[in-house]
Structures are given as C-alpha cells and as structure tokens.
C-alpha cells in the first residue's frame, strides 16, 4: 500500500524549490547517513540539483555551519566568516 502512495507523493527540492514526484527525487540526509532511517525525516533534491552536488566528505560541516550562524547573517558576511574559518583550519593542519 505504501508503494502506491510513494509513487504519487510529491516533494519540494530544497535547492531550487521545484515540486517533483517523490519517485523523481533524491533523499538528502543532513547528517550524512541516509541508511539509518528509524525516526528520521528527509529533505529532497530534484535529480538535476542532486547531480550538481559535491560528493566530498562533509563530516563536521553541519556543526561548522551552526557555529558560523549560517542563515543568521547576510550571505556576504557568512561567506567571509566561512572563508576565514577554512583558512584558520588550514593553518592549524599545516602546523
């Protein structure tokens, strides 16, 4: 029964805002482990936006974005803070 609902359900892409059938979307788990499904809700990307994603590891990224107060400042201010944090991390790793 849930299969037929899954085929007709629509979801919204978190990147572009387009509404697409669930069967034409890709799950996104911001914690990086979409296979542990119990108690989780997922966000979705449409196939074109999913194809544009970077596949590099993102361990610690969500925590870093939270620490940098992503979404709470202008994009310019956030990017400045983000670049500074990357430069600081690189300096620490080079030591």
pLDDT tens, residue order, the chain (95 aa): 455 555 569 999 999 999 999 999 998 877 666 677 777 778 899 999 998 887 666 778 888 888 999 889 899 999 999 999 989 988 888 88
pTM over 0.85? The answer is: no
Do the strands 25-28 and 19-21 form a parallel or antiparallel pair, or are they unpaired?
Answer: unpaired
Asked whether the beta carbons of 10 and 21 are under 8 A apart, the reply is yes
């Amino acid at each position: 029964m849930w299969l037929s609902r899954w085929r007709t359900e629509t979801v919204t892409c978190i990147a572009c805002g387009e509404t697409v059938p669930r069967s034409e979307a890709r799950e996104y788990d911001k914690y990086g482990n979409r296979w542990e499904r119990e108690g989780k809700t997922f966000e979705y990307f449409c196939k074109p936006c999913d194809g544009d994603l970077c596949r590099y590891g993102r361990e610690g990224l969500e925590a870093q974005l939270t620490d940098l107060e992503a979404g709470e400042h202008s994009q310019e201010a956030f990017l400045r803070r983000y670049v500074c944090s990357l430069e600081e991390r690189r300096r620490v790793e080079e030591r």
